[in-house]
Amino acid sequence: MTAMLAKTQVCPLHRRMYAKLALLAAGLALLAAAPMFLYPVFLMKLLCFGLFAAALNLVLGYGGMVAFGHATFFGGAAYVTAHAIKEWGFGAGSGLMIGVAFALVAGFLMGIIAIRRQGFYFAMTTLALSQMAYFAFFQAPFTNAEDGIQRVPRPNFLGFVPLADNLALYYFVVAVFLIGMAVIWRVIHSPFGASMTAIRENEMRTLSLGYRVNRYKLTVFVISAGLSGLAGSLKVLVFQIATLTDVAWQMSGEVILMTLLGGVGTFLGPVIGAALVLTIQNYMASTSVPVTIFIGAAFIICVMLFRKGIVGEIDAFMRREWAADSIRKKVELQ
Amino acid sequence: MSIVLEARKVSKNFGGFYAVKNVDLKVEKGSVHALIGPNGAGKTTLFGLLTRFHAASSGNIFLDSENITGEGPADVALRGLCRSFQISSIFPGLTLRDNVRVALQHRHGLSHQFWLPSRTLSRFDDEADQLLDRVGLAPLADRLCSEVSYGRKRALEIATTLAMQPKVLLLDEPIAGMAAGDIPMIVELIRSVAKDCTVVMVEHNLSVVERLCDRVTVLVRGEVMAEGTYREIRDNAAVRQAYIGAGFEV
């Protein structure tokens, strides 16, 4: 009887896998159908910032490093992509790639300096370096200073995907977003991800076990920078403009806020956080109250009531339920 | 017997204060060597110098006759000089098995691959379970570290360090803060570990030192006061005066 009962039970691990697959299917269906209900450009902006926040989360949530200079990769890649497409005649794909390449190099240069310090000093080093990058972009002739690079064309992707059409561009952005998220998923759920978790949990201990900790930190920093660059380059295709706003320190702060609101160290949290902040910005902009008041209020509520962020709290609740369920099943079997 | 670990005239100066001063230390291969001394004698600092967590102000450190003074802590660990910490140092958010696996995946060169799925690490489960079994923790392999007692955390720390297959194992106060009932288990564990590798331990419990250690070095105010067998150290009047206190009988 016990054996029969055991066979009919679905093991908690499988239940969790089914739940994740159902969530994935629902998410994909939602992404496919969303342009029918919402303005595609708003959705594309949301996906770009969602990817940007998820990329930062690799460093912030999984690496345990508060990086305050990711605007350099996001905005810098946007400038490079915009210039490459507009002035050098690059296609959409190659434009994205050169933007990512820039972000990878910039990430390596910033990372190799910043990772030598921890905590507050790491954050301030990234901020200082990103401010230096900001003034470099401000002075560089190709960025047109405060005017930015405007009217960037949207070339066809692979010669036949018409990115000039908003709906076609939306599905292109969805595809790039999914590729970016898949890379993040792989990095988190890999031997390297396990190493990063160990480093975040106890850096001294990993050092005593022979881990050259700075190499791991640098690797995750560079991957995060590359994905931030991908998000920035994608944004150029959507808005056809690259400006100083994207490389300013406020952008670095805003993406940290998105990540915190959604849930640091969760896979989907930063995307949800980005959606929340952009929705507040979008729908509250028309009111007489400054939008920063609403965002600030949302942040204070988050810090006071659910410090793990929206997805972090849901995740913790689900884990508690699964654990309780698992104990109940064991008791029943006994 | 050959010397596996040696410190020559090693000093550590913190802004004019010498925590360790001109220390000479020779650890024989296969031995259990104790570092004892009153609080503030520089024992833990010397551990930090030997494992390169602290940079020496002067002097040299040799492992298997190779000078490792300029190397980093990770390099030294990879050479087989592995340490535990004075306060139990584990990965609290991971299960016991995953704690050991952190060391195993690195030893097997599978810690940097971000393109492989996590399930590739399951190949280390059997080895991790064997190591946990060795320290009596196999039944708790799936439990989170934060859920087990302090004594078990210390045992886990030793199991994780053993996963590195150390040549020399440095244990910093392995029974400090333990419940009396857990001490015999750790003592037996250290005795068992010492069959495969050299052990250097900082310990205040002299009965444990007497039972386990072949050689004892006494540090006082950062300097070596005496060295010898436990019996020689016990009978040394200067050591008793400085470390145990005048009029105290061991």
Residue A253's pLDDT is 92
Using alpha carbons only, give the angle A165, A176, A127 rounded to the nearest 5 degrees.
Answer: 110
Tokens encoding A15: 């239940």
Q: What are the backbone angles phi and psi of residue B55, rounded to the nearest 5°?
A: -85, 135
Residue B125 in any domain: the answer is yes
Which of B187, B184, B189 has the alpha carbon at shortest distance from B160? Answer: B189
Q: Identify which of A190, A198, A223 has the shortest CB distance to residue B102.
A: A198
Q: What distance in Å separates residue A317's CA from the closest CA in chain B?
A: 17
Subunit contact A191:B101, Cβ cutoff 8 A: no
Rounded Cα gap, residues A44 and A173, in angstroms: 7
Question: Residue B31: which CATH number?
Answer: 3.40.50.300
Report chain A residues whose CB lies below 8 A from the CB of B91.
197-198, 201-202, 205
**Confidence bin at B243 (pLDDT 50/70/90):** low
Mean pLDDT, rounded, of chain B: 89
Tell me whether A289 touches chain B (CB under 8 Å).
Answer: no
Do the Cβ atoms of A202 and B77 come within 8 Å? no
Q: What is the pLDDT of residues A297-322, one digit of tens each?
A: 888 888 888 888 988 888 888 888 87
| B93 vs A193, A201, A223: nearest CB | A201
Q: Is the pLDDT at A2 greater than 50, yes or no?
A: no
Distance from CA of B196 to the nearest CA of A (A): 18
Strands of the sheet containing B3-14, edge to edge, are B17-28, B3-14, B58-63, B66-67
- Residue B249 maps to a domain: no
Q: What residues does each domain of chain A span?
A: 37-248
What are the C-alpha distances in Å from A175 to residues A92, A169, A187, A231? 13, 10, 18, 12
Percentage of chain A modeled with pLDDT above 90: 66
Residue with more model confidence, A253 or A295: A253
What is the predicted pLDDT for the residue at A13? Answer: 64
* B93 touching A (Cβ < 8 Å): yes
Distances from the Cα of A232 to the Cαs of A51, A72, A168, B89, in angstroms? Answer: 9, 10, 19, 40
pLDDT at residue A235 is higher than 90: yes
Instruction: Tell me the pLDDT of chain A averaged across its residues.
Output: 90
Percentage of chain B with pLDDT > 70? 96
**Mean pLDDT calculated for residue range B52-78:** 92
Question: Is the minimum CB–CB distance between B121 and chain A shorter than 8 Å?
Answer: yes
pLDDT per position as a tens digit, B96-141: 999 999 999 999 999 999 999 999 999 999 999 999 998 888 999 9
B chain contacts of residue A210, beta-carbon cutoff 8 Å: 74-75, 77-78, 82, 106-107, 164
Which helix H or strand E contains B48, and what residues bound it? Answer: helix B43-50
Please check whether residue B250 lies inside any domain of the structure.
no
- Long-range Cβ contacts of A63-66 (<8 Å, 24+ apart): A63/A196, A63/A199, A63/A200, A63/A217, A63/A220, A63/A221, A63/A224, A64/A199, A64/A200, A65/A115, A65/A118, A65/A122, A65/A217, A65/A221, A66/A119, A66/A122, A66/A123, A66/A256
Residue B250 reports pLDDT greater than 50: no
pLDDT in tens, B170-199: 999 888 877 787 788 888 888 888 888 999
Q: Are B117 and A205 a contacting pair at CB < 8 A?
A: no
**Cα separation, A311 vs A315, whole angstroms:** 6
Residue B124 confidence (pLDDT): 94
| Residue A320 forms contact with B (CB below 8 Å) | no
B107 in A contact zone (CB under 8 Å): yes
Minimal-distance CA residue of chain B relative to A188:
B114
How far apart are the C-alpha atoms of A195 and B110, rounded to whole Å? 9
CB of B35 closer than 8 Å to CB of B43: yes
Q: Which of residues 162 through 201 in chain B touch A, CB cutoff 8 A?
A: 164
Q: Give the residue numbers spanning the domain of B142.
A: 3-244
For residues A199 and A213, is the Cβ–Cβ distance under 8 A? Answer: yes
Q: Does A198 touch chain B (CB under 8 A)?
A: yes
CB contact under 8 A, B112 and A205: no
Minimum distance, in Å, between the CA of residue A256 and any CA atom of chain B: 24
Six-digit token string for A10: 């679905």
Kindly tell me if the per-residue pLDDT of B77 is higher than 90. yes
B243: exposed, middle or buried (Cβ count in 10 Å: 0-12, 13-18, 19+): buried
Q: Could you give the residue ranges of the DSSP H alpha helices within chain A?
A: 2-8, 12-33, 40-57, 71-86, 92-114, 119-139, 166-188, 191-201, 203-208, 213-239, 249-262, 269-284, 291-305, 309-333
Structure confidence by residue, pLDDT tens digits, B19-49: 999 999 999 998 999 999 888 889 999 999 9
Are the Cβ atoms of A191 and B121 closer than 8 angstroms?
yes
CA distances from A27 to A234, A253, A261, B76, B245 (A): 20, 27, 20, 48, 72
Residue B108 and residue B110: Cα distance in Å, rounded?
6
Query: pLDDT category, B244, cuts 50, 70, 90?
Result: low
The 10s digit of each residue's pLDDT in A258-302 is 999 999 999 999 999 999 999 998 888 788 888 888 888 888 888
Nearest chain B residue (CA) to A201: B91
**Residue A6 predicted with pLDDT over 60:** no
Per cent of chain A over pLDDT 70 is 96
- Closest in A190, A198, A207 to B91, CB measured: A198
**Residue holding tokens 């905590």?**
A119
Domain count, chain B: 1
Q: How far is CA B149 from its chain centroid?
A: 20
Chain A positions in Cβ-Cβ contact with residue B164 (cut-off 8 Å): 209-210
User: Would you state the pLDDT for residue A5?
Assistant: 46
Residue B113 forms contact with A (CB below 8 Å): yes
Is the pLDDT at B61 greater than 90? The verdict is yes
Mean per-residue pLDDT for A81-108? Answer: 96
Q: What is the pLDDT of residues A131-185, one digit of tens each?
A: 999 999 999 999 988 888 999 999 888 888 888 899 999 999 999 999 999 999 9
Task: For chain B, give the percent of residues with pLDDT over 90.
Answer: 56
B134: contact with A, CB 8 A cutoff: no
Q: What is the count of residue pairs from A and B with beta carbons less than 8 Å apart?
A: 105
Query: For position B196, what pLDDT does the model report?
Result: 85
Q: Which of A29-33, A190-194, B181-185 has the highest mean pLDDT?
A: A190-194
B53/B169 Cα distance (integer angstroms) = 15
pLDDT at A9 over 80: no
Asked if the Cβ–Cβ distance from B82 to A216 is below 8 Å, we say: no
